[in-house]
Amino acid sequence: MRDVSDLKPDPDNPGWFLGFVVVNPETNVAYDIYPGQIEAFQEAKRLGGGFKSLGGRYCPELHEYWYSQSILLR
């Protein structure tokens, strides 16, 4: 289970934490979640291959990620 101590709890969804998800939207593969946009962007750039950093949340109990794509990226 990922340590979520660096993430803010999602006030609207108990058990979920907010951050920036590094994900490949084309394959729906989530790599990890980061508290800061810059850190997430740098990791996505390092991974390459279509990975992006998108706002989202993570539930450690379910090990699930949720993210939203900006309408500008669609």
- Cut 0.75: pTM above it: yes
Q: Is residue 36 part of a domain?
A: yes
Domain around 24: 8-67
Q: Report yes or no on 39 lying in a domain.
A: yes
How crowded is the C-beta side of 8, counted as CA atoms within 13 Å? Answer: 10
Is 62 domain-assigned? yes
Q: According to the model, what pLDDT value does residue 36 have?
A: 95
Higher-pLDDT residue of 2 and 23 is 23
Contact 66, 23 (CB under 8 A): no
CA angle (31 as vertex; 64, 20 as ends), nearest 5: 75
Query: Which of the four pLDDT bands, split at 50, 70 and 90, describes residue 41?
Result: very high
DSSP one-letter string for the chain: ----TTSEE-TTSTT-EEEEEEEETTTTEEEEEESSHHHHHHHHHHH-TT-EEEEEEEETTTTEEEE---TTT-
Task: Report the number of distinct structural domains present in the chain.
Answer: 1
pLDDT-derived band at 72, boundaries 50, 70, 90: very low
